[in-house]
Chains A and B, each alone.
Chain A
Amino acid sequence: DVLMTQTPVSLPVSLGGQVSISCRSSQSLVHSDGNTYLHWYLQKPGQSPQLLIYRVSNRFSGVPDRFSGSGSGTDFTLKISRVEPEDLGVYYCLQSTHFPPTFGGGTKLELK
C-alpha cells in the first residue's frame, strides 16, 4: 500500500496567521491517465471528515479561497491563510491513484 506521511503532527497557529501542511507519498501519485489523485480533508472536533481540496489544487464546493493545495509527484502541500476558528481540527491527505486508497496520519491544527 502507498504510505502517506504528513508533517507536522501538531501545528499551533494564531488566528489570522498562515500555515502549511506537508504530505509525502511513498511512490508517485501521477496516474497513468495523467491526473494526480491527491486530496485533502478536514475533520473538525466531533464531526466527520469533509472534503476541502481534490486532485491536488481544486477547492471543493463552498471551500473558501484561504485554502490552497499544491505539489506534484510525491510531495504535496496544503496552505491555509488568514486562519479562522472554524479551520481548527485535524487535516488528512488521501491518495486514490493507487489501490487501495490510503490516508495520511493527520495534522492537528490548534491554537497557540
Chain B
Amino acid sequence: EVQLVESGGGLVQPGRSLKLSCAASGFTFSNYGMAWVRQTPTKGLEWVASISTGGGNTYYRDSVKGRFTISRDNAKNTQYLQMDSLRSEDTATYYCARHGATPFAYWGQGTLVTVSS
C-alpha cells in the first residue's frame, strides 16, 4: 500500500524558513517523480513543485521560484520542501504527492503551514 506521510508544518513568522518532509513507503520511491501541492480555502488547490526520479530536474510555480527548494533522498525514501522567505500567502495545507501514469496519483494526509507574526 502506498503511504506518504508529511511532517514539519507549523507556525512561522514572515520571512523565516521551514522545511517539510515526506516519508514514502509501499512502492519503489526512486522510480517515481514526486511533487508538493498546497491547498487554501481561498485559492483552492495549487501545484507547488515537482522533482524527477533522480532529483536532477526540478520545477516550481512562479510564486515560489527562488524561495522554495524541492529535493529528495532516495536512500531514505523521503522528499523535502525547503521553504525560505515565507510570506503570509504561503499559508496552506501542503500535500506530498506521487506521480505515476498521471500527476498526483497518490497523496499524503497533508501538513499545515501558517505564516503569521
Interface residues of A, Cβ cutoff 8 Å to B: 37, 39, 41, 47-51, 54-55, 58, 60, 92, 94, 96, 99-106
Beyond A41-B104, A48-B95, A51-B106, 18 additional contacts (C-beta under 8 Å) are A47-B109, A48-B107, A48-B108, A48-B110, A49-B45, A49-B95, A50-B107, A51-B104, A54-B101, A92-B44, A94-B103, A96-B102, A99-B59, A100-B61, A101-B103, A103-B44, A103-B45, A104-B44
Q: What does the 1/0 interface line of B54-83 toward A look like (CB < 8 Å)? A: 000001011000000000000000000000
Interface residues of B, Cβ cutoff 8 Å to A: 44-47, 59, 61-62, 95, 101-110
Complex formed: what's the CA distance from A101 to B50 in Å? 11
Contact (A39, B44) CB under 8 Å given A48-B107, A48-B109, A99-B59: no
Are B104's CB and A94's CB within 8 A? yes
Of A55, A102, A105, A106, the contact of B102 (CB 8 Å cutoff): A55
Residues of A within 8 A of B45 (CB): 49, 92, 94, 103, 106
24 residue pairs from A and B, CB less than 8 Å apart: A37-B102, A39-B103, A41-B104, A47-B109, A48-B107, A48-B110, A49-B45, A49-B104, A51-B105, A54-B101, A55-B101, A55-B102, A60-B105, A92-B45, A94-B103, A99-B59, A100-B47, A100-B59, A101-B103, A102-B47, A103-B44, A105-B44, A106-B44, A106-B45
Residues of B within 8 A of A37 (CB): 102
Residues of B within 8 A of A99 (CB): 59
